[in-house]
Structure 1
């Protein structure tokens, strides 16, 4: 996913954050309904879901791998009954190390970002997760979290756009086969109200290149 960074505040601000989740269902009259949630979709951007540490730092061979960690089991809870809407993302970090002789703690930075329309980062926060290896232990696990706060108005489509998208369409209607998102104004309005919460490791340029080319 390609993104353009606009801002990276110390903490996530109250921003427009909404996910567009559509479920096509045929109703009793033969029409098709669509459901849109104010909660964000959640994911991990490509090439940021794992990180490899080397020893020595400049090494890139398999025998120089010190620690490898991955993000997995990403889940979210959304409190959408009030205003602002609060979304909490929780994920696990699974790590493996090569040398197991002594106890060790590895601290890895990770980010959480809010994107608008799938292309623009509107807020970013960097945090850290500590992974504890006991002596003789090659694998370890830790859990990390991120949170986003949204205003309901920003997560809501304008009434005219919502009606156009969710209007019942039946076979035989003149516009039954037309996708409402083919209208540029509708598509732009949906993009403005569509946000994602993404989490991943805060990688250096060299780490990103390694993930992208290995």
Structure 2
């Protein structure tokens, strides 16, 4: 699959970038209130990034959805080039491995664009949210797990695996993050999660690329089951 990228203002705005990929389950089990709250949370995330001076210039966001297949629904772009989401259709299965692999492919190509433009970037973030058990191709799932864990071990990626609801497969999510256990969203606290995420992105954007930035662990209590 050929991916087209929005180069945007990389030349005019050489601020180091914080690439954030949202890899979101939009399978049939997300239909109804879950997917509506997810959409509201993503738009709130956009708003919060746009209102923060540091994150506004640094954050670049992409969104991959996975159901019976995977697709890129928001290419990497700065907040000024992103349109708010009106709705997401939830249907089909849970091709989680396919979704993560597309997200990583998209990230690798964006990193090449940063390098070619001479723009520095912070350690990329991958937010993986699902409410069920993966039922895509097993080899794709295993390849995704291997790729993510290798990048995490090399400090080339920060991953946040998050389960939605009681049926989320936390065992599979844990395989993506051997150093930090996956978290389960408390109820439908998408708004609280994306508020926390926007503040975390802002904290990173105020640091120097390569620095280790501590996460706001206290803030987890606002949205996660601890």
Kindly indicate whether structure 1 or structure 2 has the higher relative contact order, using CA contacts under 8 Å at least 6 residues apart: 1
Query: What TM-score do you get using the length of structure 2 for normalisation?
Result: 0.24
Query: What TM-score do you get using the length of structure 1 for normalisation?
Result: 0.25
In terms of fraction of residues, the more helix-rich structure is: 2
Pair member with larger Rg = 1
